[in-house]
Every structure is written in C-alpha cells, then in structure tokens.
Amino acid sequence: MTDLTQSAAEAPELKVLVAAPRGFCAGVDRAIRIVELAIERYGAPVYVRHEIVHNRYVVESLKAKGAIFVESLDQVPDGVPVVFSAHGVPKAVPAKAEARGLDYIDATCPLVSKVHKQAERANEQGRHIIFIGHAGHPEVIGTLGQLPDGAMTLVESVDDVAALSPADPDNLAFLTQTTLSVDDTRDIVAALQHRFPSIQGPRGEDICYATSNRQEAVKAIADQCDRVIVIGAPNSSNSLRLVEVAERLGTPAHLVQRGTDVDPAWLAGIATLGITAGASAPETLVREVIDAVAAHRAIVEDVVVTAEEHMTFKLPRGLEPAAA
C-alpha cells in the first residue's frame, strides 16, 4: 500500500469528469421526503415496507430518524402508520393494510404509477401484456401485482421474446420497468414488434427520464475516461445499468456504495476518471467518493452536463409541510 501511495503521489494530476445529471431523481427525493414528513406527523416509529429506495446510506439515515424497514405487512404492528416504497407494491398490499385498519402512505414514484395505470388500461381492452423487466425486482413485483395472475408475461431478453407463445398474438401490449437499459430495451421492443406487428406499446417512453438522462450522461464521458466509478447500491437497477453502459463503450467501470469502497489500484496509471451516481444516491456520497479519490491522487474536477432536470412531484395529500 505504501509503494502504491507513493507512486500515486508522484503521478500527474488526475482529471475527474463528473457526470450531470447524476444522483437523486424527483421520485427518490419525494419518497424520502414522504418518510421524513410521516415521522414528523405521526411521530416515531413509522414503518416502511421494503427499502424506501435502494441505498444503504439513505436507509440508515431514515432509521436514525425513526423509520423501521420491514419486508412484509405482517411485521407491522397494529395502530402504526406504514409507508410503501418508491418501487410500488402489488394491489394486494394496500388491500391488506386496509383490512387491518392500518394508516398507509403510498410513496410509489408517479412514473411507476403511470405504468400501473397503463397496465390496467391494456387489461381492460382485453390485451395480454408483455412486461419487459428484471425478475424479482420490487418494481416488477409491484407492476405484475396490479393485475390478476396470468394477465402479464415477463420477458428479460430478446431470447425470451423468441420463446413466447401467446394464446392471441394479435392482441398484445407491452410495457417496461422504468429503470432498464435504454439500449437493451430498444432491442427487446424491436424483437417484440418484429414477431408481433400488431402489439401496442405505451404512448410515451416507460423508462423514466432520470434513468435515460443518467445513461446518456455516462455515454458522454465514458469514451473520454480510462475508468468510471458509479455510486449506487448493488440492488439498484438503474445504478447497475450505468456500469453496463460504461463497459459497453469499452471503459472499465466499478460500482461503489461509499468512498471507502474506492480501490487505490483503480487510480494507478490512469489520466481521466469518470464519476456518476445512480438515482438513489445522494450528492453527499458523490463528494465522499471524490474526496476518497483525492486522498490518493491530486485531482482536477470537470462537470460534464448533458441535460438539465427540473422535474418535481407533488406530495400525497395531507403530508404537505406546514408553511413557514
């Protein structure tokens, strides 16, 4: 380690390209605020079903304020409020909460809720839905749970499309998880449209603006970098996609959760480092990672802006903060 540190100190300045947009999106910001306001309104503890967003730092910060995270409503005592995560939940979950008389607050991202409504409309039209997403992801579980079993079929790849054998191939619709790879999804949609020319898709893109913007920002810096660091959780779909985007452009990429995860060996012998953050990672972690890099190499920062984001979402009725 000493030899590595000494050689790093003698190395020329490391250029750090910081992608923008990066980090928190409007849906994540809203979900975190909902938990904080629920604690203010009801008092601690407030229960949260599943991680409110996929970021350990955020979850631990909310725990310190009085949030208790559980995976099932069965773990929520009677008489206390519960918040549903930004990823959305199957319809059976709020139904069960109502049956128990629990106060619940739905922090589902409005862009995920939009997909839920699209699924309901397609189902009402009698169309079988092909849903593009990653099996087991909370958003996928929540979306599939909006309709009766068998109303939707999940596909994860072009190969899955080839294996489809729908009962009525002329009466299909497709929808997508909001945090997918834009490029991968485009290929799967093209395969669906090739096999089923009459398939109906959503009027607009289901992949959310923040996911698309962050992937485009990585594309803008990756070919200028010797290596890319993505700040995000290993169970964060949109963060994992950022790693994949960089690596597809031929740039080695690493997913880290904190500054302590930065390996000094990644910084040896490189001239330019790219840094970005998934939609669930707060800016404080971006600064922490940059500081960790600066502890091993002298750096000069440059922010590369590819889009401006001004999206905001309303809070649920009754949770608006009191006027100052």
263 C-beta neighbours (distance < 10 Å), count? 13
What is the residue type of 78? D
Q: Show the tokens assigned to 141.
A: 């579980």
Q: Please report the DSSP string for 153-218 in residue order.
A: EEE-SHHHHHT---S-TTSEEEEE-TTS-HHHHHHHHHHHHHH-TT-B--SS-SS-HHHHHHHHHH
Q: Where are the beta strands (DSSP E) in 133-198?
A: 152-155, 172-176
- 36, 51, 139, 288: which one is catalytic? 139
Q: b/e string for 169-208 if b means 16 or more Cβ within 10 A?
A: eebbbbbbbbbbbeebbeebbebbeeebeebebbeeebbb
Q: Is 320 a catalytic residue?
A: no
DSSP character for 292?
Answer: H
Active-site annotation, residues: 139
